[in-house]
Amino acid sequence: MTTTRFAGKSVIITGGAGGLGAAIATSVVAQGGKVGILDTNQTAITSLVSTLKAQGGSADGRVVDVRDGTAVTTAIDELAQSLGGIHILIAAAGGSLGTPRDMDEISDADLDLVIDVNVKGTYYCARAVVPHMKKNKGGSIVTFSSIGGRSASPVTGIPYAASKAAILGLTRRLAKEVGEFGIRVNAIAPGLFLTDRLAGMFDAMSAADRKEVLDGIPLGRMPDLRECVDPVLFLASDESSYITGTVLDVNGGRLMPN
Ligand SMILES: NC(=O)c1ccc[n+]([C@@H]2O[C@H](COP(=O)([O-])OP(=O)(O)OC[C@H]3O[C@@H](n4cnc5c(N)ncnc54)[C@H](O)[C@@H]3O)[C@@H](O)[C@H]2O)c1
């Protein structure tokens, strides 16, 4: 892959200090792009930004809770100033966020947290970048759905399923609204990728349970993080210039929708 693929591009990555987000940020910088990280984890942002700068990259970060629409807009406007505009948004902040899987254990606060971060957070970040992308006469937004929003996953609960399905509606409707400005919007729907957080969970499973997971994946193996990063960056880049309003399933064949 050329190291100049994202030359001149400023890429906002929400949840950019997390497992997939940091891997995406590292790859963008390696391919010549500038990154702006939004995350709630101050320590992880500081460490990632300094690592990327030490590698000669251009990186900046803000501690922002994506549930706060005003704070999101302020941070994105600041990053547009410091990075020189905004060309790409990768909206990865989210997850089950430590909430329980089963309905009898899910509190109202758990439901609000998962819906607010995944759905409203994605909306607020998209709303904040669109004016900057209009100024550039184009842009690319990649939202994060999940196999858990595409099918009834046994691993994650109802709030996660609902929020990740909602992101698909958000993605399509936004794509329709901003297409005329040259802004594309697509979703990625990963299967299980073993970030540091999830690797421990997978390792703690019994051999029989791990075998059951692997037996459900036609490719018969767990993926490298790169195998999610590369499809995300395909959607983010000009290589997908005539693709908008779609969802890209990245799950080794575990789900094959019509
Ligand atoms: N890893 C997987 O297997 C997998 C599978 C399907 C979908 N996804 C989705 O991919 C995205 C990234 O997942 P990950 O595995 O890297 O998770 P992660 O937990 O490693 O990273 C998520 C990041 O989001 C940040 N975050 C959480 N709440 C936030 C908030 N309110 N505001 C700003 N930042 C916040 C966290 O601090 C963390 O750095 C999530 O949306 C997740 O649902 C992951």
123 ligand 1 Cβ < 6 A: no
Average pLDDT, the chain: 96
Ligand 1 in reach of 192 Cβ (< 6 A): yes
Q: Summarize pLDDT for 36-57 with one digit per residue, the tens.
A: 999 999 999 999 999 999 999 9
Judge if the beta carbon of residue 252 lies within 6 A of ligand 1.
Answer: no
**Nearest CA-CA partner of 3 in 21, 39, 27:** 27
Residue 162, judged by CB atoms within 10 A of its CB (0-12, 13-18, 19+), counts as: middle
- Tokens representing residue 41 in the block: 């984890």
Q: Say yes or no to pLDDT of 65 above 90.
A: yes
Reply yes or no on whether the pLDDT at 74 is more than 70.
Answer: yes
CA-nearest of 82, 100, 73, 88 to 16 is 88
The fraction of the chain above a pLDDT of 70, given in percent, is 99
Q: Quote the ligand 1 centre to 147 CA distance (angstroms).
A: 14
Asked about 242 being catalytic, the answer comes back as: no
| Centre of ligand 1 from the C-alpha of residue 31, in Å | 23
Atom of ligand 1 nearest to the CA of 41: 37
Confidence of residue 215 (pLDDT cuts 50, 70, 90): very high
What is the CATH topology of the domain spanning 10-195+225-249? Answer: Rossmann fold (3.40.50)
For the chain, which residues make up each domain, given as ranges? 10-195+225-249
Distance (Å) of CA 132 to CA 31, 34, 125: 22, 15, 12
Tens-place pLDDT, residues 156-188: 999 999 999 999 999 999 999 999 999 999 999
Give CA–CA dist 124/119, Å, rounded.
Answer: 9
pLDDT, tens digit (0-9, with 9 covering 90-100), for 1-41: 458 999 999 999 999 999 999 999 999 999 999 999 999 99
The stretch 97-106 carries a mean pLDDT of 96
Ligand 1 center–CA 208 separation, angstroms: 27
Q: Whose CA is nearest to atom 1 of ligand 1?
A: 193
Separation between Cα atoms, residue 68 and residue 71, nearest integer Å: 5
